[in-house]
Amino acid sequence: MKVGFNLASHPYENLRPRYTLVWLAVALAAVLALVLVSRERQQRAETRSLTQQRGRFEQEMEDLARERSELEEWLRRSEVQEIRDHSAFLNSLIARKSLSWTRMFLDLEKILPARVQVTAIQPRVNRARQPELALSVTAEDMAPLVELLKNLESSPQFGSPAVAAQRFSTDRNQQTRIALDLSTQYRPAVPEAESAVTEPEGEPAADPASDVANTAARREGGF
């Protein structure tokens, strides 16, 4: 039986596995450090870019607010207000020119209650660039006026009636009548081409005041 003895003061020991593990740990730590440093630099660059973008956006918002303030101040000038009023007047003239008064009164006759009289009609364009009519109507009591509002709301040619004012007036017989100033959308029942056939060129457009007077006269006569 043999027994091995090592009598050296520093016995031999294989440290290669330990060194290998140490170098692997050092390499892994270095890789992790590089990854963390790279990610930190990337985050700093993104933060710097976002900060610059935010600064540009804030500057643009300040510039837009200043331009808006200057534009509002410019729009409040008297000469600009005159131009806007003139433009609105021209738009109203265009609406009156393109409107078939005959067709409009025929459509209005369909929904006008018997005891309601129309005293004024004015076509115009609202803020949404949609055609509408400004009406002034009178009646002896409120019931036919309410019926008129309901008819305007349900009619395919009219819609969205809005009462602007209510007052009391006196007719020729010194009778007190209720007057309403209202606006309503108007969608003609026929296209422009058919309206042009209804009103041939060369003939003057129907006078709205005379049409209103004739309508009122027919209703007072029991039409």
Number of domains present in the structure of the chain: 2
**Radius of gyration of the chain from Cα atoms?**
43
Residues 197 and 157 in one domain: yes
Question: Can you give the pLDDT at residue 174?
Answer: 67
Residues 52 and 139 in one domain: no
Question: Can you give the pLDDT at residue 3?
Answer: 55
Question: Can you give the pLDDT at residue 72?
Answer: 85
Residues 119 and 166 in one domain: yes
Residues 67 and 109 in one domain: no
Residues 69 and 110 in one domain: no
Question: Can you give the pLDDT at residue 146?
Answer: 92
Residues 107 and 200 in one domain: yes
Helix ranges (DSSP H) in 76-135 = 78-98, 101-111
Q: For each of the chain's 223 residues, which pLDDT tens digit applies?
A: 555 555 556 666 677 788 888 889 899 999 999 999 988 888 888 898 899 999 899 999 999 999 998 888 887 888 777 777 767 766 665 665 666 778 888 888 888 998 898 988 888 777 766 778 889 999 988 999 999 999 999 988 888 888 988 888 776 776 788 899 999 988 876 554 444 444 444 344 444 444 544 544 444 444 3
Residue 1, domain member (yes or no)? no
Question: Can you give the pLDDT at residue 207?
Answer: 47
Residues 69 and 127 in one domain: no
Question: Can you give the pLDDT at residue 129?
Answer: 67
Residue 209, domain member (yes or no)? yes
Residue 207, domain member (yes or no)? yes
Q: What is the pTM of this model?
A: 0.43
C-beta of residue 130 within 8 angstroms of C-beta of residue 185: yes
Domain residues for the domain of 195 are 100-220
- Give the CATH number for residue 174: 3.30.1360.100
**Residue 148 burial (10 A CB sphere; 0-12, 13-18, 19+):** buried
Residues 70 and 152 in one domain: no
Residues 70 and 106 in one domain: no
Question: Can you give the pLDDT at residue 220?
Answer: 46
Residue type, 48: R
Residue 6, domain member (yes or no)? no
Q: Which of 27, 42, 76 is the last residue of a domain?
A: 76
Residues 69 and 105 in one domain: no
Residue 86, domain member (yes or no)? no
Distance CA 118, CA 134 (A): 11
Question: Can you give the pLDDT at residue 6?
Answer: 56
Would you report the helix, strand and coil content of the chain in percent, each value rounded to 5?
Answer: 55, 20, 25
Residue 144, domain member (yes or no)? yes
Residues 115 and 166 in one domain: yes
Residues 105 and 63 in one domain: no
Residue 88, domain member (yes or no)? no
